[in-house]
Amino acid sequence: MSKAFASQADLVEKKVSFDKLSDNAYAYTAEGDPNTGIIVGDDAVMVVDTQATPVMAADVIRRIREVTDKPIKYVVLSHYHAVRVLGASAYKAQEVIASQDTYDLIVERGEQDKASEIGRFPRLFNAVESVPPGMTWPTMTFSGRMTVWLGKLEVQLLQLGRGHTKGDTVAWLPAQKILFSGDLVEFDATPYAGDAYFQDWPATLDAIAALAPQKLVPGRGASLQTPQQVQAGLAGTRAFVSELFAQVRTGAAAGRPLREVYRETIDALRPRYGQWVIFDHCMPFDVTRAYDEATKFPDPRIWTAERDMEMWQSLEGR
């Protein structure tokens, strides 16, 4: 291969930040590694996305305990990807909440996704042996909308449309106009789109924008703490997924093979987005999914560890 598979060569630990957005909202971020959101209510804490292993989640819990001793009652899974959910057991939450679509994806492809993700990016699964056997299962599911009250603090869990996956959930504090987007929004980080719905994603971002968030915790990247930063995060994510899909769809419509379309798309997007975190990691997966969607696979195919390697060799091999 011309370069190391996915992010197996990425061994540099990232600096963690724990940002206060309000008296009720915090962001755990790490220079483009997956983020975790924390909502502190009157009587309990909600965690949005868990980190990839219980050992990694322990650092989130340590930060939470610096600001509150209230029990961590709820864990929310913004979607099903292993890097977001496998740390859930550390929180000992009363409820693990996800959309029904996310639950269905765990049933359909959870085991394969787990093996795939760990193989792609081992640094993000520090102490993977601490993950309990089996899948992380939601104990409560919803479709469309669910409201959770943390005392007098209202938290809305919303499915605003498909994008990063078909089960994407955002957590919204309407009184404070603070949103936790999961991987529907990234900031200075390349959107992973291997399980995406490219044609739906921009409209879902428009639905987020319609809420007029004043602050936003993206899936990756720094917390966005002004309306201008929120707009930049939404615009950057929208531009990336739109430009990538348009480039791939044009090549596919002309009958060009995936490898050729991949090289053209890399060359077209690198000048604007090449400095974003995990660009080289994401692009083979993103272009493959876009090519699928533009041709004959309206729904994402399941990634397995074997399929990962075959795809990478076909696109990045000599």
pLDDT tens digit sequence for 105-144 = 999 999 999 999 998 888 889 999 999 998 999 999 999 9
Maximum Cα–Cα distance for the chain, whole Å?
59
Q: Which of 147, 178, 163 is nearest to 27 (CA)?
A: 178
Compute the distance between CA of residue 8 and CA of residue 227 in angstroms, rounded to an integer.
36
Can you tell me the distance from the alpha carbon of 163 to that of 155, in angstroms, rounded to the nearest whole number?
A: 22
Q: Quick one: pLDDT at residue 10?
A: 55
Q: Residue 101 domain-assigned? A: yes
Query: Are the C-beta atoms of 88 and 110 separated by less than 8 Å?
Result: no
Position 188 in a domain: yes
In a domain, 2, yes or no: no
**Residue entry with tokens 């660009």:** 279
Burial class (CB in 10 A: 0-12, 13-18, 19+), 58: middle
| Sites in the chain below the pLDDT cut of 70 | 1-11
- Give the pLDDT score at 4: 66
Q: Do the beta carbons of residue 27 and residue 21 sit within 8 Å?
A: yes
Domain assignment of residue 277, given as a range? 17-316
CA atoms within 13 A on the CB side of 188: 11
Helices H / strands E in the chain, number of each: 8, 12
pLDDT at residue 288, as a whole number: 98
pTM: 0.95
The DSSP bridge partners found for residue 145 are 158
Does any domain span residue 3?
no
Length of the chain: 318
Task: Give the span between the Cα atoms of 148 and 157, in whole angstroms.
Answer: 8
Cβ-proximal residues to 25 (8 Å cutoff; 6+ apart), any chain: 37, 38, 39, 40, 173, 176, 178, 215, 217
154 close to 177: Cβ distance less than 8 angstroms: no
Three-class SS state of 251? helix
Distance CA 157, CA 220 (A): 19
Does a structural domain hold residue 7? no
Is residue 11 domain-resident? no
CATH code for the domain of 188: 3.60.15.10
Examine residue 24 and state whether it is found in any structural domain, yes or no.
yes
Query: Which DSSP string do the residues of 102-155 spell out, in sequence order?
Result: HHHHHHHHHHHHHHHHHHH-GGGGTTGGGSPSS----SEEESSEEEEEETTEEE
Domain count, the chain: 1
Looking at residue 317, its pLDDT comes to: 83
